[in-house]
Structure 1
Amino acid sequence: MKKVILATVLLTLLSFTGCAPAEQPAESFVFTDSCGREVQIYETDSIAPTGAMAQMVLMPLASDLFCGLASDWSSDAELYLKEELLTLPLYGQIFNGKGDMSLEEVIRLSPDVLIDIGETRPGMAEELDQLQELTGIPTVHIQATLDTMDTTYQMLGMLLGRREKADELSAYCEEIYQRTAGIIESLDTSETQTVVYCLGDKGLNVLARGSYHAELLDMLCENATVLDNPSPGGFGNEIDMEQLLLWDPHWILFAPDSVYASVASDPLWLRLSAISNGQYAEVPQGPYNWMGMPPSVNRYLGMIWLTDLLYPKEATFDLYEEVAAYYALFYDCHLTEDMFSALIE
């Protein structure tokens, strides 16, 4: 599907006139991206993330370099983000999203680099080469998974010449990841919680074990959602209530805007042990879902929150202090206790 989306926008671009790249400065350097492509970089004074995931990763490091937005902000973004970020022009996404990028608008904005961040997929190198050839804009891909985000920031620091800030972000990700991994490793098998993450307006879409979007679940618990063909998409696999009852996990997590508010009074949902025992929760959101959507650096908030939820005895940290530290580092936002309470209520 993503190849079809890319082909569509590239064909649109072919009919766009006046898009030849401007003459580049003589000084440059070669950047080797996560696909192994050697890309000539001339300037990094203006950048364009290719999707919501890249936009989120880049925001704490280089939001001042954004020429525009790949993904619009949520309705509550003004509570957490700087005003100048809220008014940038929207050009859309090409990867990890709807495939609605206006390449004409990107070319008009004239960024020095297009930056894609996320899962490294087969065939991606060829797609990026084609995109770069048609736009005349250097285009790079940097892999980002839950256990490699520290390396992601190190690579971005090299690309953008912002190593000091990148090192700070990298160290944070490494520290949170290693602390969480240590807690999980210390648990006895009997202490590990089985969990299902439910999404959608009926609560019957789930993130299957082994899928890219389920990385956080798979790390912190026994993801009960074992399916033959895990969906690669963020909305997961659709199931029925019978299957959910067969899994009957210790905990059920609900995505924002799902059925969390109604399950306690629904006789069918009350047949699940997690609901009848009160072991269910709605994932916090603001300005992004803490568990993903997109599966970006926001998942480190999910890592902190979910550890505290599932393993409170082992989670000896103060949840408010941890969340406030994240908001300060990644959103440049002073998170008050009232704001925190509103997020997790």
Structure 2
Amino acid sequence: MKIIKNLLVVVASLFILTACGGTKTTPSESSVSESSVKTNKKVAAEKRIFIDSVGREVEVPKNITKIAPSGPLAQIVLYTSSPDLLVGLATPFSKEAQAYIDKKYQELPEFGQFYGKKASLNMEALSVAAPDVIIDIGEPKKTVKEDMDKLQSQIDIPTIFIEANLENLPETYKKLGELLGNTKETEKLGAYCKKVLDQAEENKSKLSESKKKTIYYASGNVGLNTNAEGSFHAQVIDAIGVKNAVTGVDITSQGGGTVVSMEQLIQWQPDYILADSEKVYQIIQTDASWKELTAVKEKHVYKVPTAPYNFMGFPPSVNRIIGIQWLGNLVYPEQYELTIDETVKEFYDLFYHVQPSEKQIAEILANAK
């Protein structure tokens, strides 16, 4: 009986120990759990919420070191502010632009355009480069929130939209600085844009209606395509206080421009004609049909500088800031009082990170002054 009682005590003790200790973790399990909590806290600390220009709250890395542009407009702005963070391009630099762009940036992989009608995204190249964020910059479309959310869901990379039009470029750079933590550089670029825009607005306010000149912007194969008043691509003309010769016409085809006739041009008789290429410039100078225009007779025909980007805004990005100074000084020199060669040199140094030679400046401004 004594043996049986002892056995029962042992069994009862084992049962109690098992019941009480069934959920107890081993020392090694406890260490793993604590380690996981610490790791999760560290990961959370390395992230932050950024509110983009359309109010989207996007979780991004605390320190962004790799960025990718969604398209050509974003590419220009990002190249001006943070070229060393770029891990790829939306579009390759044109042959004309290559002389002003460091070769290491020209050799970056091409991702293509991320969304829209011209979408050409190369997912393989994007995966290899593994950018921290995708940045879209431009005017907000009605569906921009949905577009950004959809793109972010598809590629599983934080996708940010930053608004940019000609008037709010200082704010664009401020927002970009907040995102990238590069406020010193973006503040310089934003301040430069503000100075130019403020000067243009001041000069514009001093012009009486009678003193305002008219301009025709000639593009297309023979110079009869143009960007009418109100077009996104004609904002430089509006900014300096000249009148766009083409008003009250359809501007739905903003990129390719509105088609006009020579008869209309003769009726409008613009004070100045701007040619968007050397080909168009030579046509205007030599074709007999253009000689009926007063601007041609008075030698007020100029070629728009296009290297590395068109001064009038193709694509319509920060390149329009130097366009305002060039065109403003061309039409109203007594108000702008710029030495345009020096202005171009300063702009290229600050925004394109290159110091053009005197020969290059002469090439940039050929037939443009």
Match of 2:54 among 11, 35, 39: 35
Partner Cα separation in structure 1 for residue 148 and residue 127 of structure 2: 16
1:253 aligned partner, one-letter code: L
Question: How has the CA–CA distance of structure 1 residues 93 and 155 changed in structure 2, closer, same or farther, with 3 Å as cutoff?
Answer: same
SS in 2 for 1:218: helix
CA distance in structure 1 between the partners assigned to 2:322 and 2:96 by the alignment: 17
DSSP-derived class of the 1:326 partner: helix
In 1, Cα distance between the equivalents of 2:200 and 2:96? 29
Give the Å deviation of 1:37: 1.0
Deviation of residue 328 (structure 1)?
0.5
2:237 maps to 1:217: yes
Give the superposition deviation at 1:76.
2.9
1:145 equivalent in alignment to 2:165 = yes
2:69 aligned to which of 45, 49, 53 = 49
CA shift, 1:306, in A, is 0.1
Superposed counterparts of 1:63-102, under 5 Å: 63-94=83-114, 98-102=118-122
Question: With CA pairs under 8 Å and 6+ residues apart, which has the higher RCO, 1 or 2?
Answer: 1
Distance 2:257 2:284 in 1: 20
Q: Which residue of the partner structure matches residue 277 of structure 1?
A: 298
1:319 to 320, 340, 343: 340
Offset at 1:152? 0.2
- Highest CA radius of gyration, 1 or 2? 2
Q: TM-score, normalised by structure 1?
A: 0.89
Distance 1:33 1:267 in 2: 53
Q: Using the TM superposition, give the Cα deviation of residue 317 of structure 1 relative to its aligned residue in structure 2, in angstroms.
A: 2.0
1:226 aligns with 2:267: no
Q: What's the CA shift for 1:254?
A: 0.9
Query: Which of the numbers 289, 294, 304 marks the counterpart of 2:310?
Result: 289
- Alignment pair present for 1:164 and 2:176: no
Task: Read off the aligned partner of 1:131 and give its amino acid letter.
Answer: L
Displacement of 1:338: 2.0
Q: Tell me, in whole angstroms, the C-alpha distance in 2 between the residues paired with 1:36 and 1:228.
A: 35
The SS at the match of 1:281 is: strand
Counterpart residue number, 1:17: none
| Structure 1 portions without partners, runs of 5+ | 1-22
Give the 3-state SS of the residue equivalent to 2:142 in structure 1: coil
After superposition, the C-alpha distances for 1:195-228 in whole angstroms (9 at most, x for unaligned) are 1111111111110111211111122211121134
Deviation at 1:264, TM superposition (A): 2.0
Give the match's secondary structure for 1:114. strand
When normalised by structure 2's length, the TM-score is 0.83
Instruction: Compute the displacement of 1:95 (Å).
Output: 5.2
C-alpha distance in structure 2 between counterparts of 1:259 and 1:305, whole Å: 19
Q: Deviations over 1:105-157 (max 9, x none)?
A: 32332111010001111011101100001110110111111110000000000
Residues 315-342 of structure 1, C-alpha deviations (whole Å, 9 max, x = no match):
2121111111101101111122221111
Are the counterparts in 2 of residues 70 and 90 from structure 1 also a CA contact under 8 Å? Answer: yes
C-alpha distance in 2 between matches for 1:53 and 1:97: 15
Per the TM alignment, residue 258 of structure 1 is displaced from its structure 2 partner at its CA by 4.3
Q: Which runs of 5+ in 2 are unaligned?
A: 1-39
2:236 corresponds to which letter in structure 1?
L
Name the residue aligned to 1:304. Answer: 325
- What count of residue pairs does the alignment treat as equivalent? 323
Equivalent residue of 1:31, what SS? Answer: strand
Over 3 Å counting, the alpha-carbon distance change for 1:95 and 1:257 in structure 2 is farther
The separation in 1 between residues aligned to 2:82 and 2:342, in whole angstroms, is 25
Once the two structures are TM-superposed, the CA of residue 188 in structure 1 deviates from its matched residue by 2.1
1:236 aligns with 2:240: no
Matched residue type, 1:39: V
Judged with a 3 Å threshold, the aligned counterparts in structure 2 of structure 1 residues 238 and 104 are, in CA distance, closer, same or farther, namely farther
CA contact (8 A) 1:194 1:251 kept: yes
